[in-house]
Amino acid sequence: MDNVCVVVAGSRQARIFLVQESDAPRAPVRLIERGTLGNPDLRTRGRSVTGRVRTETNTNRQAGPVHPIGAQRARHEVELERRFSTEVARKAASVARNWTTGSVVLIADPRMLGFLRGAMRSALNPAIRVKELAKDYVRLTTSRLRDHLTKDGVLPARRGGAT
């Protein structure tokens, strides 16, 4: 089997797996987890430093007229996700550092996938193929992830006709 790395990512967490052949009759491949990354910048998302829920407007009468701050927060969150995707791409590239051939499969929600796409292409060797799947699988267990990837055609199907 060719070298295959699977990156399952969301805005708060990313997991990196290597695909390895298996002798088990019902599962021809195994997913070996090589790393887990967390996005500490989004840990307190939606909360102030004191732990209270943030409001969407400036309600301080002495600060002037009330104005929405949600747009600024949204831009900040996008920047935090972009930085996290760069970190995930670096970690995946370190897993595939010595490969001359192979593929990296990116699995993330559509927004995160857009960030990962650009970061991954600049971090990887050009000979390594990048495949994409727009799904949110980051919270699945390893065995359920393998089952979903088999259904989606990313991993080979089980032997003996069982699906």
| CATH assignment at residue 137 | 3.30.420.60
Cβ(47)–Cβ(54) under 8 Å? Answer: yes
In a domain, 59, yes or no: no
What number of other Cβ atoms are within 10 A of residue 86's Cβ? 17
Q: Which of 42, 46, 35, 48 has its CA nearest to residue 11?
A: 42
What number of other Cβ atoms are within 10 A of residue 20's Cβ? 11
Q: Which of 55, 48, 49, 52 has its CA nearest to residue 69?
A: 55
| Count: domains in the chain | 1
Percent of the chain residues past pLDDT 70, beyond the cut: 77
List all residues 6 or more positions away from 23 whose beta carbon is below 8 Å from its beta carbon: none
Give mean pLDDT, residues 90-115. Answer: 92
Q: Provide the pLDDT confidence category of residue 163 given band limits of 50, 70 and 90.
A: very low
Write out the residue range of the structural domain in which residue 113 sits: 4-41+70-161
Backbone dihedral angles phi then psi of residue 79, each to the nearest 5 degrees: -65, -40
In a domain, 100, yes or no: yes
The pLDDT assigned to 41 comes to 73
Does the pTM exceed 0.85? no
Is 162 a residue whose pLDDT tops 50?
no
The pLDDT assigned to 132 comes to 94
Is 90 a residue whose pLDDT tops 90?
yes
In a domain, 31, yes or no: yes
In a domain, 54, yes or no: no
Is 59 a residue whose pLDDT tops 80?
no
In a domain, 49, yes or no: no
Give mean pLDDT, residues 56-78. Answer: 65
In a domain, 101, yes or no: yes
In a domain, 153, yes or no: yes
Q: How far apart are CA 4 and CA 158, in angstroms?
A: 18
pLDDT higher at 56 or 116: 116
Q: Which of 147, 104, 111, 154 has its CA nearest to residue 129?
A: 104
Cβ(9)–Cβ(140) under 8 Å? Answer: no
In a domain, 131, yes or no: yes
